Amino acid sequence: MVLNPVISKLAGKLVVLASASPRRLEILRNAGLRFEVVPSWFKETLDKRLFKAPQQYAVETAKQKALEVARRMPCNHLKTPDIVIGADTIVTVDGMILEKPRDKQDAYRMLSRLSGKEHSVFTGVAIVLCYENPNDEDYQIIDFYEETKVKFADLSEGMLWEYIDSGEPMDKAGGYGIQALGGMLVEYVHGDFLNVVGFPLNHFCKQLDQIYNKQGSCHGDTAPTLPAAVHPLPTPSSTHTVLPEHQVSFCNEIQPVTANSRPFNKGEDSEEAREDLQKIIQLMDGFKASKALFTASKLGLFDLLQRRPALNAAQVALELKTSLKGTEHLLEACLSLKLLKNCKTPAYENTELSKRFLLSEAPSSLLGYLEHCNDTVWPLFSHLESAVQEGVHQHHRTFCNKSVNRSQEVKLRFMKAMHSFARVSGKAVATAFDLSAFKSACDLGGCTGAMALEFARAHPELSVTVFDLPAVVEMSPRFHPPCTQDRLTFVAGDFFKDALPKADLYILSRILHDWSDEKVHFLLGKISDACTPGCGLLLSEIFLDEGRTGPSRGLLQALSMSDGRQRSADEYALLLKSHDFVATGIKQTENLLDAMLCIKV
């Protein structure tokens, strides 16, 4: 194999694969290549419309994946790789790129489109060569693509659904894996079979051979003369073409490690070192604090101590029907978290913090949302390693072996979570801007109407409609007293399928971050079509800062691997501008959600 003569030249070099794909790992390991795996954080959100050919999109995505890792490693891993390999595989048919399916119906749509047809599988590959010297870092990139033609047999409905129900399509480009059960769908393959699996090994080996055997050592005294496909990466001071901000997020300045570099010269007993250790300890123990909060809330501890303050551990255990030992430990943990206080030793009562947010009847109660975090989010995050490795939501792994009842009770629990969240954040969002120019508003996906009610209270001249699914509208009266209905109007419908109610102002609170770019653009297009110039759109989300260093809550939420993504305020503004909405105000509320007001032009 052409890779074998290269292996000796790579000995001692740090080769990194910027992908967690188990198929790419297996292909390269079977070829004898020794490498580390550092999955790329690059968000695959390049606008496909900007590329003349699908292979260009695959190559650019591969390049950005590899560059993100090449630039992050010296910052976060404190070591510089010699080579970073990035790859992206796409399936195209009838001029359309098919990536990973969002759900079973999306997989069915993809596979039906491929049935009986020949399609192309493209893998874009980028090899980033990193050269380190005392004062600077330089990168050179070789990129290429491989195309393989694949023909599907005519597939019956039974075969399609049998394959989809196996679960295999859900993390595969185009909805199938040729190396496994998906092979039964294929009539013939013209080209590199491994390219369809996920990595064009033969083409990759030829490129390495050209670099190392024909052009000399990569890290010798002289850098190799690279093929024409190699692109030097501009340094930050360069006036060359700069990648759009939304396409890649790097550490922009990589400083050389010197004897005076603070991270490497802290004494173990210094004040800074002790503070850093405490920060790490807080991060390590954070999940324990969360679970203590969830457990105390679910057991009704705070409601009990509100009804009967100054109970001791034995009395609390008796009331909650819990063990004395377990109750003592939970009470002491809540005391340390400042959720409880000693009124007289050894009796406990709620702190003001608990009274405000952790009581069932408190106006700002978060109990419904805490229940959602405990019953749904916590189990999902217990599979975070799989989520990071696979890049997909872990609902199937979390709940597939459990009897998850999708009944009215489950829907009601989710609505309670959204209701409590909206009650806490609603006023800050509703009062963020002067809305006197608008007479009617429509809260799309407004759930129980808690957010909409805050708008009605803050702006008495504003009539507010809540637009949500029929099942949600049917259960919404459970969350408000009857008099509330005079302030709100509920309309049942699906904002992806049905006509939107007419309004001067549309409200999107915690909607866009959950959906794929395709659905986001579709929804914003519908809103834009429903609006005349001067109409408004009020967006409420967690706005990330431009450096992706915070707020951590939004970045941690992104780890759920939903179809959507978190964005900064500038990214949301650009997104809305593409649908003729211009941002006129952005408000960091210091609450659970931020707000942006846009006007249709």
- Please list the active-site residues: 88
State the amino acid at position 488 in one-letter form. L
N-to-C CA span, the chain: 61
- Tokens representing residue 551 in the block: 């707020």
Alpha carbons 401 and 407: distance in angstroms, whole number = 17
Q: Which phi and psi (to 5°) does residue 487 adopt?
A: -95, -20
Q: Which phi and psi (to 5°) does residue 428 adopt?
A: -60, -40
Distance from the Cα of residue 194 to its chain's centroid: 29
Alpha carbons 286 and 92: distance in angstroms, whole number = 44
Alpha carbons 393 and 561: distance in angstroms, whole number = 5
Report which of 502, 488, 503, 506 is spatially closest to residue 444, judged by C-alpha positions: 506
The alpha carbon dihedral of 366, 368, 371, 375 has a sign of negative
- What residues are paired with 466 via a beta bridge? 443, 490
Place of tokens 């659970």: 592
Continuous segment of H or E residues that includes residue 137: strand 137-152
Torsion-angle region of 94 (φ positive above 0: left; ψ -120 to 50: alpha; else: beta): left
Place of tokens 């093929």: 227
Q: How many CB atoms lie within 10 A of CB 174?
A: 29
SS3 string, 241-278, reads CCCCHHHCCCCCCCCCCCCCCHHHCCCCCCHHHHHHHH
Kindly give, in sequence order, each residue whose CB lies less than 8 Å from that of residue 419, ignoring residues fewer than 6 positions away.
368, 447, 448, 450, 479
Continuous segment of H or E residues that includes residue 539: strand 536-541
Report which of 390, 36, 27 is spatially closest to residue 195, judged by C-alpha positions: 27
Q: How many CB atoms lie within 10 A of CB 544?
A: 25
Distance from the Cα of residue 230 to its chain's centroid: 32
Continuous segment of H or E residues that includes residue 470: helix 470-475
Q: Which phi and psi (to 5°) does residue 333 adopt?
A: -65, -45
| DSSP code of residue 338 | T
- Tokens representing residue 17 in the block: 């694969």
Q: How many CB atoms lie within 10 A of CB 360?
A: 12
